[in-house]
Amino acid sequence: MPFSHHSHSGQFCTHAVDTLEEMVQTAISKGFQSFALTEHMPRPREDFYPEEEKDYTVEGLAKLFDDFVVEATRLRDVYSSKISILIGFESDWIRPSTQDIIRGLLEKHGAFFDFFVGSIHHVFTIPIDFNDAFYQKARDEAGGTDERLFEAYFNEQDQMLRSLRPLVVGHFDLIRLKSDNPNTEFEGMSVVWEKIHQNLEFISSYGGFLELNSAALRKGLAQPYPCLPICQMFLSMQGRFVLSDDSHGTDQVGTNYPRLLEFIQRAGIKEIHYANRTASSVDVRFPHTGFRAISVSQLERLLS
């Protein structure tokens, strides 16, 4: 296995399983060259998920994240001879004030971070991938159709991108997951496509990387995030891609990478990038981290 830029553990994420060290050990056993630890950022009380409400306070969730940074740094040192451990977090954009939380994280822990994953899990502050009931609530708020909710999702994604400029953009079209047709390619949705195009152009303009996320395949979708036409549109803008398994337990580390490779070849993607602490930095916020590229033929050999 080559790389993953997005993962979670049960030690620091309530909807995952297994310890952070077990995740790293599994990545080593599967031959990963690098593995990014990207737990969710802490959030205010109004944005707690249901399973967090009974076990955590705002202070407790913040301490959990601090503990994650300490443990991730320890693991990076312990296993440095076996694997390149990257440390980051998932940004979980919910509202404009999210950027204040992220600014605080970067000020407090910035020396330890290699990058963060910019993602959207909420529309109108409502979770859209947690369960069907929340998705329906967000869809009703948007106007009652998937298409209207898709428009709102990509609008909020635009806010996230322009506010945060994340180096890695996570599961770009996650909004498909709970929709009536999760295998949609947004056919005939002209306004949605205008917004998708706008967001991809902006990512390309500041040098961001689009995550090819295999978790969609694990969840039963026919294509990873993002779907084929989005990848091809980004490719036409000289856009660049990284790999992620978005694992939430040891049994999900590297899952569906062979299928992801088939998709990459179908999309016409010729090279894949990966974060590397010895490469030239591409973002002043993360002076220790750059990105390198390998050809898809090299990736195929790594996966064989």
Question: In this structure, is residue 214 part of a structural domain?
Answer: yes
The answer to whether residues 136 and 180 touch, using CB atoms and an 8 Å cutoff, is no
* SS3 call for 72: helix
* Tens-digit pLDDT profile for residues 77-118: 999 999 999 999 999 999 999 999 999 999 999 999 999 999
Domain membership of residue 279 as a residue range: 70-242+261-303
- Does 139 map to a domain? yes
pLDDT tens profile 48-78: 988 888 889 999 999 999 999 999 999 999 9
Q: What is the CATH number of the domain that holds 220?
A: 3.20.20.140
- Whether residue 116 lies inside any domain: the answer is yes
Assigned domain for 24 exists: no
| Domain-embedded: residue 65 | no
Q: What is the pLDDT of residue 139?
A: 98
d(CA 113, CA 106): 8
Spell out the residues 6+ positions from residue 251 whose beta carbon is closer than 8 angstroms to its own.
none
Asked if the structure places residue 32 within a domain, the reply is no
The number of domains in the chain is 1
- The reply to whether 256 falls in a domain is no
Q: Which residue has the higher pLDDT, 304 or 300?
A: 300
Domain-located, residue 21: no
